[in-house]
Each structure stands twice: as structure tokens, then as C-alpha cells.
Amino acid sequence: MDKQIRIVTATTLSSEEFWATATLAKSMPFWEDPNDPIVIDVIERNSTGLPELYNRYLDEKYKGQIVLFVHDDVSIQDAMFQNKLRTAHESYDVVGLAGGDNAVEDPELLLWHVMSRSKSGIVAHPTKDGSSVNSVCFGPTPSPVELLDGLFISVDIDAALDRGYRWDEDFNFHFYDLSFSLTVSEKGGTMGTWPIWVVHSGLGDSYQSDAWKKQQPTFKSKYRPRIRNKKALF
């Protein structure tokens, strides 16, 4: 029997605003299937750090499920979405759209695409006028990776429970994806990208924010030694 897919998204919007205006909600007609319904959990008016929210789903009551943690500004425009996601999880415990491998010892910025020597995946972004999209191709996909971008991370809950994956609650809205990726690698898990077509309204420029800069020292102190000691992880 196919595993139930559950989508979890946190939003600053109210529930009513989310269903009326959010990019993710508007994309549902692309992949809704009455014969294969997806459960969608919308965490409205959210101000809680994402790891704390996400850890609630790494729980026995979600056994047998695939839980996709996705940003509310992602438009999933792939009619084969469910089938692709289940197929991806036949190969990987954790699945994303874009990521990297072979982390460098001393990156200029603690961003996955700067930290990685080899990159994988594709993500599209709308142009300023919204008339078309620009597709960023990082590299071949599907591909195993050691770091994933947090806009779209899918977790096989059975594998997470078996191996003890947890999101690090020292982070809130930044670095949670990199820290989780490193935890999966540490625990011997499998992680990879898959070609699922989405359009992401975010521009990936959050590293310029004060909040990102404030969290960077915590990430650097906890995880950079592991990156430098590549024999332990990579």
C-alpha cells in the first residue's frame, strides 16, 4: 500500500488568508487527485521556529507516512508529484529539490551551494513581472547529496524514527536545513534530490538579513568543526 503523503507548511498568514492567497495553496490544482488525497497541515500565524514545529511530526503517530516540509511560497506544478515523491523515497530517507555534496572545508558563506563542491537539482523562480520563470539548474538530478535546501524537504517518518533524526531546535528559520542534513549524514541516512517541478517565489537572499547573520555563529560553532573533519562525515 502506498504511504500517505502529508504536507506541512508554516505561514504567517491566517488559515483563511493562506487558502485564499498563498502560493502553495494556489498550486493545488496541479496535483490534487481525489483518488490519492494528500493531508495538508497549515500552521497559521506562525512565529515558532521551524525545527520545533517539524519535530512534532517525527513521532510514532505519523509512522507509515511521508511528510513534506515545504515553504508556503512554493508552487508545486508537477502533475506527477505524488508518484515522484514516493519513488524518490524508495532510494532516499530524505528528499529535496536542490542540494550539494563534498562540502568544502572553509566556505566563504555558510550556504549549501557555496559549501558544496558538487551540486544537484533544479528550482524555478518567477521573473519580476510574473510573466515567465527562470530555472536554476544546479546539476544532475536525481543525485545523492549531503546538504539540502530547506524550501522543500521530504522525510520518510519510518526511517526518521529508526535512525533517530531530529531537527536542531537551536535554530529557528535559518540553518535548520543544513543542520538537519548533517544530522542525517551523521546517522548514516540516505539523502538525495529528485526532479519535481516547482516555482519558488523566494529569491534565496535571506542570508542578507539580520536574522540570518545572528544565527550564523551558532551554526558555525556547532557544525563547522564537523565539516572540516570530513573523515567523520563526508
Q: What is the pLDDT of residues 159-195, one digit of tens each?
A: 999 999 999 999 989 889 999 998 998 899 999 999 9
Residue 234 in this model has a pLDDT that exceeds 70: no
Cell numbers placing 70: 515545504
Verify cis geometry, omega within 30 degrees of 0, for the bond prior to 142: yes
**Model confidence, pTM:** 0.91
* Model confidence band, residue 206 (pLDDT cutoffs 50, 70, 90): low
- Angle between helix 176-186 and 210-228 (nearest 10): 20
Q: Is the pLDDT of residue 218 over 70?
A: yes
CB contact at 8 A, 91 and 70: no
* CB contact at 8 A, 70 and 7: yes
Taking residues 90-105, what's their average pLDDT? 90
Taking residues 133-158, what's their average pLDDT? 94
| Residue 11 confidence (pLDDT) | 96
The average confidence (pLDDT) of the chain is: 89
pLDDT over 50 at 93, yes or no: yes
Each residue of 43-90: pLDDT tens digit? 999 999 999 999 999 999 999 999 999 999 999 999 999 999 999 999
Question: What percentage of the chain has pLDDT greater than the value 90?
Answer: 65
pLDDT at 50: 96
Contact by Cβ (8 Å): 63, 57: no
* 87's grid cell: 519513488
Report the pLDDT value the prediction gives residue 233, as an integer from 0 to 100: 41
* Stretch 86-99: mean pLDDT: 97
Residues 6+ apart with CB under 8 A from 90: none
Comparing C-alpha atoms, which of 85, 81, 79, 112 is closest to residue 98? 112
CA-to-CA distance for 76 and 224, rounded, in angstroms?
33
